[in-house]
Amino acid sequence: MIDTPKGLVSPTTATERVAASMAKRKKSERNFQLLGRSAIAVALAFLVVLFFSIFSKGLPGFFQYYVEIEVEIDREKLDPTGDLSLQSLYDGDARGVIRSALYAAVDAEGRKNKRAAGKLISAGAEQRLRELVYDDPSLMDTTQTLRFALDDDVDSFLRGFIKRETPENDRRISDKMVEYIDRLQSDGKIVYAFSDYLIFGSASRNPEMAGIYGAFIGSILTLSVCLVLAFPIGVATAIYLEEIAPKNRITEIIEININNLAAVPSVVFGILGLAVFIGIFGMPRSIPLIGGVVLALMTLPTIIISSRAAIRAVPPSVREAALGVGASQVQTIFHHVIPLAMPGMLTGTIIGMAQALGETAPLLMIGMVAFIVDVPGGVTDPGTVLPVQIFMWADFAERMFVQKTSAAIIVLLAFLITMNAAAIIVRKKLERRW
């Protein structure tokens, strides 16, 4: 061809050109697919590493070492007043009873040796004994084989985190203690069992006694407050803005601000809670009520934005149909728009709640990081939440807290998955497929 072709090409040329361009197109399609697959593979690999790391560290955290010793439950020593009241039990020498049982188990003689033996057992043992006899007074003046948690250093030694080879001065347990541990182990008195402290215990300075129960209840209370506030307010706002509000400058400004709020760092909401609820209203610190309100403020934009999207996705023909038979605006919204938008609204709420469940920063600001041993009984009792508990544990020096941290993360993940599963079931029930 001498002269450059102008305008439409002939069908034969077109066929040739199309055929020629196919290879290039196919190649770019293949490359794109490859790119997507490798991205997914990398993401999955990281996920696997993450889960492996959490579970390999966390699953042992659900177990701990206990010692089983024969305890003579001496009534006179345990219950000096003899009325089995709590006061009397606290006045009694539960510690001494356990100690002597332990000395007997390892044949500890002399002050120094006895002190080494005493260090083996958790400080929580005496409380266990008191609870035991308080619940079942018939155990008094009998000899029972009882199981007590070992001290966290002993636990770490048994797990191999504290090495036998380390010189005595550099490790937290003495040679004498090592000797006693070996003796207890050869007698079969040391057992590795499910850690009830982790699930039913609360915050504690002693790692072997620390548990997530208080934080778990705190999380449930905080999330309940958050859900009760954020869901109705968020959905109502979305409905009003989308269906009823006139489209003018004011609503536009409100919309922009809601979108901006979604991008505000969560710690800022914490400062807001601190300044307003604690500073101005003088409410107590560390309570799930304020935590819930702060998280609700943080969650609201997410719920509003996704609810509005869900409402917008309802086909206009449904609205027209309802208006056409004479339904009022409110009837149209409540009979037709909301039922159709509900699955989408719930999805937004789940995402918001999941965010709130994992949130730490704003709660630190309002004091939910406090060391609280008691389990909160209501939304106005001081408490903490799971992620904050994890945050605190991750900060502690003792080796055993590492396992407890990972175990708590597993519990948090399980909580999250349960919550999401429940929401998906609810959504599926509402989502009628027509």
Partner 1 sequence: MEDGKMVEPQKVDAPVRPDIDLAKLPNATIGDIYVENPRMTARQVRVNYGDKTAIEDVSLDIGGSEVISFIGPSGCGKSTFLRCLNRMNDTIKTCKVSGDIRLNGGDIYAPDVDVVPLRARVGMVFQKPNPFPKSIFDNVAYGPKIHGLADNTGHLKQIVQEALERAGLWSEVHNRLDDPGTGLSGGQQQRLCIARAIAVSPEIILMDEPCSALDPIATARIEQLIHELSSEYSIVIVTHSLQQAARVSKRTAYFHLGRLVEVGLTDKLFMKPQHEMTNNYITGRFG
Q: Give residues in contact with partner 1 (CB under 8 A).
A: 246-247, 315, 317-328, 331, 335-336, 340, 432, 434
Helix, strand and coil percent figures for the chain, each rounded to 5: 70, 5, 25
Q: Is the separation of the CB atoms in 303 and 234 below 8 Å? A: yes
Q: Which is nearer to partner 1, 91 or 252 (CB)?
A: 252
Minimum distance of partner 1 from residue 329's CB (angstroms): 9
Instruction: List Cβ neighbours of 365 (8 Å cut-off, separation of 6 or more).
Output: 267, 270, 271, 273, 274, 294
The residue (of 24 and 247) whose beta carbon lies closer to partner 1 is 247
Cβ atoms < 10 Å from Cβ of 57: 16
Cβ-based nearer residue to partner 1, 179 or 431: 431
Residue 328 CA to residue 257 CA, distance in Å, equals 30
Minimum separation from the CB atom of position 193 to partner 1 (A): 55
Count CB atoms within 10 A of the CB of residue 409: 21
Of the candidates 127, 119, 145, the residue with the CA atom closest to the CA atom of residue 201: 127
With tokens 């969650």, the residue in question is 299
CB of 252 vs partner 1, minimal distance in Å: 14
Q: How far is the CB of 370 from partner 1 (least distance, A)?
A: 51
205 closest CA partner among 123, 127, 121:
123
The answer to whether 70 and 144 have CB atoms below 8 angstroms apart is yes
Least Cβ distance, residue 12 to partner 1 (angstroms): 39
Q: How far is the CB of 255 from partner 1 (least distance, A)?
A: 16
Smaller CB distance to partner 1: residue 59 or 321? 321
Q: Which of 305, 310, 335 is nearest to 230 (CA)?
A: 305
CB of 11: closest distance to partner 1 in angstroms? Answer: 33
Q: Are 184 and 190 in contact (CB under 8 A)?
A: yes
Closest CB to partner 1 among residues 110, 315: 315
For 25, the token pair is 């197109």
Nearer to partner 1, 297 or 314 (CB): 314
Task: Give the nearer residue to partner 1 in terms of CB position, either 289 or 341.
Answer: 341
CB closer to partner 1, 160 vs 246: 246
Closer of 34 and 250 to partner 1 (Cβ): 250
CB of 344 to partner 1, least distance (A): 14
What's the closest the beta carbon of residue 238 comes to partner 1, in angstroms? 19
Give whichever of 124 and 344 is closer to partner 1, judged by the CB atom: 344
Long-range contacts of 257-263 (CB under 8 A, 24+ apart): 258/300, 258/301, 258/304, 258/305, 259/301, 259/305, 261/300, 261/301, 262/301, 262/302, 262/305
* Least separation in angstroms between CB 328 and partner 1: 5
Closest by CA position to 150, among listed 112, 109, 107, 102: 102
* Nearest residue to 307 (alpha-carbon basis) of 236, 223, 246: 236
Query: For tokens 């708590």, what's the residue?
Result: 408
* 3 state SS of 143: strand
CA distance 318 to 312: 12
Strand partners, 72: 143
- The residue (of 327 and 361) whose beta carbon lies closer to partner 1 is 327
| Closest alpha carbon to 180 in 118, 95, 98 | 118
Residue 39 Cβ vs partner 1, minimum distance, rounded to whole Å? 37
